[in-house]
Structures are given as structure tokens and as C-alpha cells.
Structure 1
Amino acid sequence: MTTTLPILLITLALGSGPGCGVDYVGLEYSNIPTELRQGGSAYIESSGGRNIGLQLVHCEEYSELWLTRWLTDSAGRGPDQVITALKLPPIASDQRIIFGNSNCRLNKKFDPWVVALVQYDAEARFFSHVYRAWKIDIEKNSFEEIDTEGIDCINEGSGV
């Protein structure tokens, strides 16, 4: 009598590091997933029950900016939900990603929906060397890349 033993084949998926390459859209969270590092956040608006914010997160290889919605219960508490994510280009040590209320201006008017990658200058009141910029389209739940002309962002560390 011959006995046949089953063979178990295990396949390992090699990823690009913790948190990298994962699609977080739709995620509801109270704390950033442990495989990511938090880089900052901003609350943008709460009109029409939308409760919109931004969350900058980092994994090993790149950073993302999440457009989030605060989900509230009857007590006014609840998790955030990732609506969409913008994979950011590499950010050099002398560059900054600027976002949030009253941080970037479009044609000298503050616009909370503008996100910009800027050249850092510790002495400047406003960062005017803008490499790339995006505008949040809340109706489409997307980040749309826009022309950098007319965009500058406040240097919060300059005492303005």
C-alpha cells in the first residue's frame, strides 16, 4: 500500500516595504496605521456636513497626502475616512509640501484647496518658488495638478 502525502506550497509575496503600495482609499481610522508615519494634518471645512481634512503620511519609499472626511456619530465623534490619496513626488530636504487653511495663495488670495511643493527659504515670508501644485476638487474627490504661476505659500516659521 502506498501512502500519498499532500504537498503544501507556500508563496510569499515580496512587497515594497510596510505601507508602501497599499491602497488606503476607503479606510476608516482613528489612528494612522502603524506601518505609516504621520507627517501633519489640516482640517479644511465642515460645511454641508462634509467635514473635510488632509493627512500627510509617509511610508519607506514615498509620501501620500490623503483627502479625508470625518465621520461623526450622534455624539459628534468618529473616525476619519480616506476619500482619495495623492502620491507625492520625492521631496528633497530643502523642499516642503504646504497645505491647509490660509497656507497657500492663488493670485494673492488664500485658497484652502491648494497644495504646493515649494523651495524652503527660512528667511522668506512667503515661499514663491513652487515646483508643483495641486487643487482639490471636492466634487470629484480628486487632486488636480495645476499651473504654479500665481501660487505662493506662507512660511509659518517666519513670524508672519
Structure 2
Amino acid sequence: MRYRPLIWAALAATLIDQISKYLVVHVMRVAAGDIDVLPPLLVFKYGENRGINFGLFQGNTEAARWVLIGISVAISVGVLIWLMRSTPSKLMMISGGLLIGGAIGNVVDRLLYGYVLDFLNMSCCGINNPFVFNLADVFIFGGAIGLVLFEGKKPS
């Protein structure tokens, strides 16, 4: 099946994201206090994101929550349709799957909690980064970069 790499990448990204959030937030209880993993490079810090990346467009209303869910689903469907109408390489299919899986992971959070759970914080070289993110964000970013880098490559 031509779409198998996309499906597996999306499924893996969603599961890895949700399992990591469960472990760090509910098992390790990061909300009780920061967890130094490789300080200052990597610290687990609890965050609730009711907006989009970097806390932009924060909204505490139900309407904002559903608008953001709708946007995530629309982008995911758009990427899926685009990939289905083209002859993408295997790397593009994997990239699209990562993007879609990351988006689904964040949608699951919004459905369950009303916000996205964030816990990753990275700082370096004397710069204290105040922002937190999650693995879904990493998959979305990596998938988007992959779609750009591998677009136009011959299908494999």
C-alpha cells in the first residue's frame, strides 16, 4: 500500500507524543516541580498551552479551543489530500505522517484537557528559554521541514 509510510509515521508520532505526556505529566508529576534531565539543556517544566506555538493566541474560551482543534484537523486533512494527489517520495510520506501525527497528538490533548500539555524546555549558552513544548510540536516541525526538503524528489 502506497500510504503505509504515512500511516505508520502518523500512528507512531501520535503514540510517542501521548505516551511521553502521560509519563512525564502523570507518572513523573512534573506539575509538582521542574525535573532536571540535562540542565540547562533539557529540563522538564509543566505547561498548559491554550494557544498555538510559543503561547501565541492564548484563549481560555471553549470557542477558542474548538477553533484551534478545527484548524489542526483542517491542516492535517489538507496535507493528506495534497500527498494523495501527488506522487510523493517515501520520505515525503513519512514527513507528512509525522506532521499529521503531531497535530493529532495535540488535538487529543485539547479534547481531553481543553489545552495542550507541554513539558520540554531547552536552554543553552546563557540564554534562558521561557517556552515549553512537547514531542508533538517536534513532530509537526520536523514533518513540515521534511515536506519542504523532500518535495520534488523522485518517489522511492
- Structure number with the higher strand fraction is 1
- Structure number with the higher helix fraction is 2
Higher RCO (CA-CA < 8 Å; seq separation 6+): 2
TM-score range (shorter-chain normalised) is: under 0.3
Q: Which has more radius of gyration?
A: 1
**TM-score normalised over the length of structure 1:** 0.19
**TM-score normalised over the length of structure 2:** 0.19
